[in-house]
A = this chain, B = another copy of it.
């Protein structure tokens, strides 16, 4: 991927749209180029469906880190700590959990240097007491849309009154 690819894919992700017009407006890249590049990236499997979802590994974010975060006990601490965790670049998901761990965080990163930086960023948050990160050897499944995790019948039973 070159700079244009990255600019286009980033705009798709942050603007939440695949409209050529909107991407052009956000990036200044000519519409025809936007269209051509997206088609190409779709053909190369970097973009995995017509919705613009990307394969993190194909895009260069091939290091996935799962981190348990233990935080200090202060009334309402988790709101603040949770948001700060979410603001760290590369952090994709932040769950405030009920059990022994306060947060479970999933990050997609591109290199070991980035891992070291993210771990240091976790540490730098006030209220974070301890973190425990583990590398993902393999992402067996990661489905962008949770509705695709079910058979239609199951969903109808569960979600329709």
Q: Which residues of A contact B (CB under 8 A)?
A: 1-3, 6-7, 9-10, 12-19, 22, 48-54, 56, 59-61, 64, 66, 70, 73-78, 82-83, 85-86, 89-101, 103-104, 106-108, 110-112, 114-116, 119-120, 123-124, 128-130, 132-152, 154-156, 158-160
Q: Say yes or no: B137 contacts A115, CB within 8 Å.
A: yes
Q: Say yes or no: B123 contacts A50, CB within 8 Å.
A: no
Q: Say yes or no: B89 contacts A154, CB within 8 Å.
A: yes
A122 to chain B, nearest CB (A): 9
Q: Say yes or no: B151 contacts A89, CB within 8 Å.
A: yes
Copies in the assembly, this chain: 8
A153 to chain B, nearest CB (A): 10
Chain B residue nearest to A159 in the complex (CB): B60
Q: Say yes or no: A99 contacts B96, CB within 8 Å.
A: no
| Additional A-B contacts beyond A7-B156, A14-B148 (20; CB < 8 A) | A9-B147, A12-B51, A13-B147, A16-B50, A16-B51, A17-B51, A54-B147, A73-B123, A73-B128, A76-B120, A78-B138, A86-B140, A89-B150, A91-B141, A93-B143, A96-B138, A96-B139, A98-B137, A99-B133, A103-B140
A90 to chain B, nearest CB (A): 6
CB contact under 8 A between A149 and B89, given known A137-B116, A137-B119: yes
Q: Say yes or no: A92 contacts B143, CB within 8 Å.
A: yes
